[in-house]
Protein backbone atom coordinates (compact mmCIF):
# COMPACT_ATOMS: atom_id res chain seq x y z
CA UNK A 1 0.00 0.00 0.00
CA UNK A 2 1.48 3.38 -1.00
CA UNK A 3 1.43 6.42 1.26
CA UNK A 4 0.30 9.89 0.25
CA UNK A 5 3.95 10.83 0.21
CA UNK A 6 4.98 8.19 -2.31
CA UNK A 7 1.88 7.56 -4.46
CA UNK A 8 2.84 10.23 -7.01
CA UNK A 9 6.50 9.23 -7.37
CA UNK A 10 7.72 8.04 -10.71
CA UNK A 11 8.83 4.43 -11.15
CA UNK A 12 12.46 5.61 -11.28
CA UNK A 13 11.98 7.52 -7.95
CA UNK A 14 10.30 4.54 -6.32
CA UNK A 15 13.19 2.31 -7.32
CA UNK A 16 15.64 4.81 -5.86
CA UNK A 17 13.64 4.96 -2.64
CA UNK A 18 13.71 1.18 -2.45
CA UNK A 19 17.50 1.14 -2.81
CA UNK A 20 17.86 3.71 -0.01
CA UNK A 21 15.58 1.66 2.24
CA UNK A 22 17.59 -1.44 1.54
CA UNK A 23 20.68 0.36 2.86
CA UNK A 24 19.10 0.43 6.29
CA UNK A 25 19.16 -3.36 6.51
CA UNK A 26 21.96 -4.64 8.71
CA UNK A 27 25.06 -5.94 6.94
CA UNK A 28 24.60 -9.38 8.49
CA UNK A 29 21.04 -9.65 7.20
CA UNK A 30 22.01 -8.43 3.76
CA UNK A 31 24.82 -10.96 3.49
CA UNK A 32 22.41 -13.74 4.44
CA UNK A 33 20.10 -13.06 1.51
CA UNK A 34 20.29 -15.41 -1.46
CA UNK A 35 19.00 -14.75 -5.00
CA UNK A 36 16.51 -17.41 -6.08
CA UNK A 37 14.94 -18.11 -9.46
CA UNK A 38 11.15 -17.95 -9.68
CA UNK A 39 8.82 -19.98 -11.96
CA UNK A 40 7.24 -18.36 -15.03
CA UNK A 41 4.13 -16.40 -13.95
CA UNK A 42 0.94 -18.28 -14.74
CA UNK A 43 -0.94 -17.05 -17.79
CA UNK A 44 1.99 -15.07 -19.15
CA UNK A 45 1.27 -14.03 -22.74
CA UNK A 46 4.80 -14.04 -24.08
CA UNK A 47 5.79 -13.99 -27.74
CA UNK A 48 6.77 -17.39 -29.07
CA UNK A 49 10.18 -18.00 -30.53
CA UNK A 50 10.13 -17.79 -34.32
CA UNK A 51 10.92 -21.49 -34.50
CA UNK A 52 7.94 -22.28 -32.24
CA UNK A 53 5.30 -20.17 -33.99
CA UNK A 54 2.72 -21.91 -36.15
CA UNK A 55 3.44 -21.35 -39.82
CA UNK A 56 0.69 -20.01 -42.08
CA UNK A 57 -0.08 -19.95 -45.78
CA UNK A 58 -2.43 -17.16 -46.89
CA UNK A 59 -4.68 -18.24 -49.77
CA UNK A 60 -6.00 -15.25 -51.69
CA UNK A 61 -4.35 -11.86 -51.83
CA UNK A 62 -7.36 -9.62 -52.38
CA UNK A 63 -8.08 -6.37 -50.54
CA UNK A 64 -9.13 -7.97 -47.26
CA UNK A 65 -6.20 -10.35 -47.23
CA UNK A 66 -3.66 -7.65 -48.03
CA UNK A 67 -5.09 -4.83 -45.90
CA UNK A 68 -6.36 -6.71 -42.83
CA UNK A 69 -5.24 -10.33 -42.56
CA UNK A 70 -1.56 -9.94 -43.46
CA UNK A 71 -0.93 -6.87 -41.23
CA UNK A 72 -2.53 -8.80 -38.35
CA UNK A 73 0.54 -11.02 -38.18
CA UNK A 74 2.65 -8.07 -37.02
CA UNK A 75 1.15 -8.30 -33.52
CA UNK A 76 0.62 -12.06 -33.45
CA UNK A 77 2.63 -13.88 -30.78
CA UNK A 78 2.10 -17.48 -31.87
CA UNK A 79 1.74 -17.15 -35.65
CA UNK A 80 3.92 -16.24 -38.64
CA UNK A 81 3.47 -16.28 -42.41
CA UNK A 82 5.59 -18.64 -44.48
CA UNK A 83 3.69 -18.91 -47.78
CA UNK A 84 1.36 -17.08 -50.15
CA UNK A 85 -1.08 -18.67 -52.61
CA UNK A 86 -2.16 -16.44 -55.47
CA UNK A 87 -2.98 -16.46 -59.16
CA UNK A 88 -0.93 -13.28 -59.50
CA UNK A 89 2.79 -14.20 -59.18
CA UNK A 90 3.98 -10.59 -59.33
CA UNK A 91 1.72 -9.55 -56.44
CA UNK A 92 2.77 -12.58 -54.39
CA UNK A 93 6.46 -11.89 -54.98
CA UNK A 94 6.08 -8.22 -54.09
CA UNK A 95 4.24 -9.02 -50.86
CA UNK A 96 6.76 -11.74 -50.11
CA UNK A 97 9.59 -9.21 -50.33
CA UNK A 98 7.72 -6.85 -48.01
CA UNK A 99 6.87 -9.44 -45.37
CA UNK A 100 9.73 -11.90 -45.56
CA UNK A 101 7.72 -14.69 -47.19
CA UNK A 102 9.63 -16.86 -49.65
CA UNK A 103 7.31 -19.78 -50.43
CA UNK A 104 4.78 -19.32 -53.21
CA UNK A 105 1.99 -21.45 -54.64
CA UNK A 106 -0.73 -20.92 -57.23
CA UNK A 107 -4.10 -22.59 -57.75
CA UNK A 108 -2.64 -25.23 -60.05
CA UNK A 109 0.05 -26.54 -57.67
CA UNK A 110 -1.98 -25.89 -54.51
CA UNK A 111 -2.01 -29.55 -53.48
CA UNK A 112 1.80 -29.63 -53.41
CA UNK A 113 1.53 -27.98 -49.99
CA UNK A 114 1.00 -31.48 -48.62
CA UNK A 115 4.77 -31.99 -48.87
CA UNK A 116 5.68 -28.60 -47.40
CA UNK A 117 6.67 -28.94 -43.75
CA UNK A 118 6.93 -25.15 -43.44
CA UNK A 119 3.13 -24.81 -43.50
CA UNK A 120 0.97 -25.80 -40.51
CA UNK A 121 -2.13 -23.66 -41.03
CA UNK A 122 -3.92 -22.34 -44.11
CA UNK A 123 -6.10 -19.21 -44.10
CA UNK A 124 -8.68 -19.25 -46.93
CA UNK A 125 -9.37 -15.64 -47.95
CA UNK A 126 -11.06 -16.36 -51.30
CA UNK A 127 -14.54 -15.46 -52.59
CA UNK A 128 -17.25 -17.54 -50.89
CA UNK A 129 -17.90 -19.75 -53.90
CA UNK A 130 -14.34 -21.11 -53.61
CA UNK A 131 -14.28 -21.74 -49.87
CA UNK A 132 -15.40 -25.35 -49.86
CA UNK A 133 -13.08 -26.56 -52.61
CA UNK A 134 -9.88 -25.03 -51.23
CA UNK A 135 -10.70 -25.74 -47.59
CA UNK A 136 -11.24 -29.43 -48.32
CA UNK A 137 -8.09 -29.62 -50.45
CA UNK A 138 -6.02 -27.98 -47.72
CA UNK A 139 -7.41 -30.34 -45.08
CA UNK A 140 -6.62 -33.33 -47.27
CA UNK A 141 -3.10 -31.94 -47.63
CA UNK A 142 -2.79 -32.33 -43.85
CA UNK A 143 -3.12 -28.65 -42.92
CA UNK A 144 -5.30 -26.98 -40.31
CA UNK A 145 -7.68 -24.48 -41.95
CA UNK A 146 -9.15 -21.14 -40.91
CA UNK A 147 -11.77 -20.16 -43.50
CA UNK A 148 -13.26 -16.71 -43.97
CA UNK A 149 -16.96 -16.23 -43.32
CA UNK A 150 -19.44 -17.23 -44.52
CA UNK A 151 -18.13 -20.74 -44.43
CA UNK A 152 -19.56 -21.85 -47.78
CA UNK A 153 -22.24 -21.30 -50.40
CA UNK A 154 -24.55 -23.97 -48.95
CA UNK A 155 -25.04 -25.95 -45.77
CA UNK A 156 -24.23 -29.11 -47.73
CA UNK A 157 -20.82 -27.67 -48.63
CA UNK A 158 -20.26 -26.64 -45.01
CA UNK A 159 -21.08 -30.17 -43.84
CA UNK A 160 -18.59 -31.59 -46.34
CA UNK A 161 -15.92 -29.25 -44.93
CA UNK A 162 -16.64 -30.35 -41.35
CA UNK A 163 -16.51 -34.00 -42.44
CA UNK A 164 -13.19 -33.45 -44.24
CA UNK A 165 -11.64 -31.92 -41.10
CA UNK A 166 -12.79 -34.86 -39.01
CA UNK A 167 -11.43 -37.36 -41.53
CA UNK A 168 -8.07 -35.56 -41.70
CA UNK A 169 -7.89 -35.11 -37.89
CA UNK A 170 -7.24 -31.41 -38.43
CA UNK A 171 -8.82 -28.28 -36.99
CA UNK A 172 -11.28 -26.22 -39.03
CA UNK A 173 -12.24 -22.74 -37.91
CA UNK A 174 -14.41 -20.00 -39.40
CA UNK A 175 -12.99 -16.48 -39.20
CA UNK A 176 -15.65 -14.88 -37.02
CA UNK A 177 -13.21 -12.22 -35.83
CA UNK A 178 -15.82 -10.48 -33.64
CA UNK A 179 -15.39 -13.27 -31.06
CA UNK A 180 -11.86 -11.91 -30.55
CA UNK A 181 -12.75 -8.20 -30.61
CA UNK A 182 -12.36 -6.69 -27.10
CA UNK A 183 -15.50 -4.55 -27.10
CA UNK A 184 -17.80 -7.34 -28.25
CA UNK A 185 -16.15 -9.69 -25.78
CA UNK A 186 -16.83 -7.16 -23.03
CA UNK A 187 -20.48 -6.89 -24.08
CA UNK A 188 -20.72 -10.70 -24.05
CA UNK A 189 -19.18 -10.84 -20.57
CA UNK A 190 -21.67 -8.31 -19.21
CA UNK A 191 -24.67 -10.03 -20.80
CA UNK A 192 -23.68 -13.52 -19.62
CA UNK A 193 -22.90 -12.18 -16.13
CA UNK A 194 -26.44 -10.75 -15.90
CA UNK A 195 -25.53 -7.06 -15.84
CA UNK A 196 -28.54 -6.36 -18.09
CA UNK A 197 -30.81 -8.69 -16.15
CA UNK A 198 -32.58 -11.27 -18.32
CA UNK A 199 -32.13 -10.66 -22.03
CA UNK A 200 -35.47 -9.90 -23.67
CA UNK A 201 -34.62 -8.91 -27.24
CA UNK A 202 -31.69 -8.46 -29.63
CA UNK A 203 -31.67 -6.43 -32.82
CA UNK A 204 -29.00 -6.18 -35.49
CA UNK A 205 -28.69 -3.99 -38.59
CA UNK A 206 -25.78 -4.25 -41.01
CA UNK A 207 -25.24 -2.96 -44.51
CA UNK A 208 -23.61 -0.70 -47.06
CA UNK A 209 -24.24 0.45 -50.62
CA UNK A 210 -22.75 -2.04 -53.06
CA UNK A 211 -20.86 -0.54 -56.01
CA UNK A 212 -20.68 -2.96 -58.97
CA UNK A 213 -17.77 -0.96 -60.46
CA UNK A 214 -15.61 -1.56 -57.37
CA UNK A 215 -13.81 -4.94 -57.75
CA UNK A 216 -14.19 -6.03 -54.08
CA UNK A 217 -17.95 -5.44 -54.42
CA UNK A 218 -18.37 -6.78 -57.94
CA UNK A 219 -17.85 -10.47 -57.11
CA UNK A 220 -20.23 -10.17 -54.17
CA UNK A 221 -23.05 -9.45 -56.62
CA UNK A 222 -22.35 -12.64 -58.61
CA UNK A 223 -24.00 -15.74 -57.19
CA UNK A 224 -21.29 -18.13 -58.37
CA UNK A 225 -18.59 -16.32 -56.36
CA UNK A 226 -20.61 -14.57 -53.66
CA UNK A 227 -22.77 -17.58 -52.79
CA UNK A 228 -25.68 -15.33 -51.90
CA UNK A 229 -26.46 -11.68 -51.39
CA UNK A 230 -26.03 -9.24 -48.52
CA UNK A 231 -26.88 -11.78 -45.83
CA UNK A 232 -23.84 -13.84 -46.83
CA UNK A 233 -21.49 -10.90 -46.71
CA UNK A 234 -22.58 -8.32 -44.15
CA UNK A 235 -25.75 -9.63 -42.50
CA UNK A 236 -23.96 -12.68 -41.20
CA UNK A 237 -22.14 -10.40 -38.74
CA UNK A 238 -25.44 -9.54 -37.08
CA UNK A 239 -26.60 -13.14 -37.02
CA UNK A 240 -23.40 -14.60 -35.61
CA UNK A 241 -22.72 -11.80 -33.14
CA UNK A 242 -26.28 -11.94 -31.77
CA UNK A 243 -26.02 -15.68 -31.16
CA UNK A 244 -22.60 -15.12 -29.54
CA UNK A 245 -24.49 -13.45 -26.69
CA UNK A 246 -26.90 -16.38 -26.14
CA UNK A 247 -24.80 -19.43 -25.20
CA UNK A 248 -26.86 -22.52 -24.47
CA UNK A 249 -30.04 -21.26 -26.19
CA UNK A 250 -31.66 -22.84 -29.25
CA UNK A 251 -33.28 -21.38 -32.38
CA UNK A 252 -36.78 -22.80 -32.79
CA UNK A 253 -38.08 -20.90 -35.82
CA UNK A 254 -36.96 -18.49 -38.54
CA UNK A 255 -38.88 -16.03 -40.71
CA UNK A 256 -37.66 -13.52 -43.26
CA UNK A 257 -38.68 -11.19 -46.08
CA UNK A 258 -36.73 -9.72 -48.97
CA UNK A 259 -36.55 -5.93 -49.07
CA UNK A 260 -34.58 -5.41 -52.29
CA UNK A 261 -35.46 -2.17 -54.14
CA UNK A 262 -37.58 -2.87 -57.22
CA UNK A 263 -35.80 -2.44 -60.53
CA UNK A 264 -32.28 -2.21 -59.08
CA UNK A 265 -30.04 -3.89 -61.67
CA UNK A 266 -27.30 -4.56 -59.12
CA UNK A 267 -29.38 -7.42 -57.80
CA UNK A 268 -30.13 -9.58 -60.82
CA UNK A 269 -28.34 -12.58 -59.26
CA UNK A 270 -28.50 -12.05 -55.49
CA UNK A 271 -30.86 -10.36 -53.06
CA UNK A 272 -30.00 -6.80 -52.15
CA UNK A 273 -31.60 -6.80 -48.71
CA UNK A 274 -33.39 -9.09 -46.29
CA UNK A 275 -35.11 -8.71 -42.91
CA UNK A 276 -35.26 -11.66 -40.52
CA UNK A 277 -36.43 -12.86 -37.12
CA UNK A 278 -35.28 -15.80 -35.03
CA UNK A 279 -37.37 -17.17 -32.18
CA UNK A 280 -35.35 -18.72 -29.38
CA UNK A 281 -36.23 -21.54 -27.00
CA UNK A 282 -35.74 -19.04 -24.15
CA UNK A 283 -38.68 -17.03 -25.51
CA UNK A 284 -36.72 -14.03 -26.78
CA UNK A 285 -36.40 -12.95 -30.38
CA UNK A 286 -33.45 -11.88 -32.49
CA UNK A 287 -34.44 -9.44 -35.20
CA UNK A 288 -32.19 -8.11 -37.93
CA UNK A 289 -31.73 -6.56 -41.32
CA UNK A 290 -29.01 -6.92 -43.93
CA UNK A 291 -28.62 -4.72 -46.98
CA UNK A 292 -26.44 -3.79 -49.92
CA UNK A 293 -28.52 -0.58 -50.14
CA UNK A 294 -27.70 1.24 -46.88
CA UNK A 295 -25.61 4.40 -46.92
CA UNK A 296 -23.49 5.23 -45.08
CA UNK A 297 -22.10 1.98 -43.72
CA UNK A 298 -24.28 0.55 -40.93
CA UNK A 299 -23.04 -1.78 -38.18
CA UNK A 300 -25.35 -1.81 -35.16
CA UNK A 301 -26.14 -4.33 -32.41
CA UNK A 302 -28.64 -3.70 -29.60
CA UNK A 303 -29.20 -5.88 -26.55
CA UNK A 304 -32.24 -5.24 -24.35
CA UNK A 305 -32.49 -6.78 -20.88
CA UNK A 306 -34.89 -6.60 -17.97
CA UNK A 307 -32.67 -4.14 -16.07
CA UNK A 308 -30.37 -2.60 -18.69
CA UNK A 309 -29.35 -2.37 -22.30
CA UNK A 310 -26.30 -2.15 -24.55
CA UNK A 311 -26.09 -0.53 -27.94
CA UNK A 312 -23.00 -0.88 -30.09
CA UNK A 313 -22.76 1.47 -33.05
CA UNK A 314 -20.39 0.76 -34.72
CA UNK A 315 -20.48 -2.84 -33.54
CA UNK A 316 -18.44 -5.10 -35.81
CA UNK A 317 -16.00 -2.88 -37.69
CA UNK A 318 -12.26 -3.35 -37.96
CA UNK A 319 -11.19 -0.36 -35.89
CA UNK A 320 -13.99 1.70 -34.35
CA UNK A 321 -16.33 -0.31 -32.11
CA UNK A 322 -17.90 1.31 -29.04
CA UNK A 323 -20.26 0.32 -26.21
CA UNK A 324 -23.18 2.43 -25.00
CA UNK A 325 -24.31 0.98 -21.67
CA UNK A 326 -27.43 1.74 -19.62
CA UNK A 327 -27.58 -0.49 -16.56
CA UNK A 328 -28.25 1.52 -13.41
CA UNK A 329 -26.57 4.86 -12.95
CA UNK A 330 -25.87 7.33 -15.73
CA UNK A 331 -25.59 6.02 -19.31
CA UNK A 332 -22.01 5.86 -20.53
CA UNK A 333 -20.15 5.29 -23.77
CA UNK A 334 -16.73 3.64 -23.77
CA UNK A 335 -14.28 1.30 -25.48
CA UNK A 336 -12.87 -1.79 -23.77
CA UNK A 337 -9.86 -2.16 -26.02
CA UNK A 338 -8.37 -1.57 -29.45
CA UNK A 339 -10.58 -3.26 -32.07
CA UNK A 340 -7.56 -3.80 -34.32
CA UNK A 341 -6.28 -6.38 -31.84
CA UNK A 342 -8.97 -8.80 -33.05
CA UNK A 343 -6.92 -9.85 -36.07
CA UNK A 344 -3.83 -10.96 -34.16
CA UNK A 345 -5.98 -12.50 -31.42
CA UNK A 346 -7.88 -14.57 -33.96
CA UNK A 347 -4.67 -15.82 -35.59
CA UNK A 348 -3.10 -16.77 -32.28
CA UNK A 349 -6.31 -18.38 -31.06
CA UNK A 350 -6.34 -20.64 -34.09
CA UNK A 351 -2.61 -21.34 -33.81
CA UNK A 352 -3.11 -22.57 -30.25
CA UNK A 353 -6.03 -24.74 -31.33
CA UNK A 354 -3.99 -26.20 -34.20
CA UNK A 355 -0.93 -26.85 -32.05
CA UNK A 356 -2.97 -28.79 -29.48
CA UNK A 357 -5.40 -30.14 -32.13
CA UNK A 358 -8.35 -29.02 -30.01
CA UNK A 359 -11.46 -27.16 -31.24
CA UNK A 360 -11.17 -23.49 -32.11
CA UNK A 361 -13.39 -20.88 -30.41
CA UNK A 362 -15.31 -20.48 -33.69
CA UNK A 363 -15.21 -24.00 -35.18
CA UNK A 364 -16.53 -25.31 -38.47
CA UNK A 365 -19.67 -26.50 -36.69
CA UNK A 366 -20.52 -22.86 -35.90
CA UNK A 367 -20.16 -21.95 -39.56
CA UNK A 368 -22.40 -24.88 -40.49
CA UNK A 369 -25.03 -23.71 -37.98
CA UNK A 370 -25.09 -20.24 -39.52
CA UNK A 371 -25.39 -21.66 -43.04
CA UNK A 372 -28.39 -23.73 -41.90
CA UNK A 373 -30.02 -20.65 -40.40
CA UNK A 374 -29.42 -18.52 -43.50
CA UNK A 375 -30.88 -21.21 -45.73
CA UNK A 376 -33.97 -21.25 -43.46
CA UNK A 377 -34.20 -17.47 -43.92
CA UNK A 378 -34.17 -17.84 -47.69
CA UNK A 379 -36.80 -20.60 -47.57
CA UNK A 380 -39.01 -18.29 -45.53
CA UNK A 381 -38.47 -15.28 -47.78
CA UNK A 382 -39.11 -17.38 -50.89
CA UNK A 383 -42.41 -18.45 -49.32
CA UNK A 384 -43.50 -14.88 -48.60
CA UNK A 385 -42.33 -14.81 -45.00
CA UNK A 386 -43.76 -18.10 -43.78
CA UNK A 387 -42.34 -19.35 -40.49
CA UNK A 388 -39.78 -22.15 -40.88
CA UNK A 389 -39.54 -24.44 -37.87
CA UNK A 390 -36.00 -25.46 -36.89
CA UNK A 391 -34.22 -26.91 -33.87
CA UNK A 392 -30.66 -25.60 -33.95
CA UNK A 393 -28.42 -25.29 -30.90
CA UNK A 394 -26.53 -22.03 -30.40
How far from 322 is each of 85, 124, 179, 311, 315, CA to CA, in Å? 35, 29, 15, 8, 7
What gap in Å lies between CA 207 and CA 294, rounded to an integer? 5
- Residue of 153, 178, 309 lying closest to 240 (CA atoms): 178
Q: Is residue 107 annotated as a catalytic residue, yes or no?
A: no
Among this protein's residues, is 149 annotated catalytic? yes
In the set 105, 134, 143, 149, the catalytic residue is: 149
Check if the beta carbon of residue 226 is closer than 8 Å to that of residue 233: yes
Catalytic residue, candidates 134, 176, 232, 237:
237
* CA atoms of 52 and 324, how far apart (whole Å): 40
Half-sphere exposure of 319 (CA within 13 A, CB side): 3
Catalytic residue positions, numbered: 149, 237
Amino acid sequence: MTSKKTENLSRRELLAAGVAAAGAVSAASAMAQQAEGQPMPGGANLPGLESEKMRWAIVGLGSFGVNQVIPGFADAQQSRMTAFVSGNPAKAQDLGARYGVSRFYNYQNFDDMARDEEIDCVYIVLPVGLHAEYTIRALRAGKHVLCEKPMASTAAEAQAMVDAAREANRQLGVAYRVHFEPNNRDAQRRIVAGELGTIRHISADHGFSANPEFPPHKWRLERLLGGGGSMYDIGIYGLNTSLMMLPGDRVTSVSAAYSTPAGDNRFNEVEGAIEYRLRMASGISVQGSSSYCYSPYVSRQRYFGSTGSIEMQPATTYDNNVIQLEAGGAPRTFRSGDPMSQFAAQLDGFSRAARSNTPHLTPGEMGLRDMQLMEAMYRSADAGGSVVEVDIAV
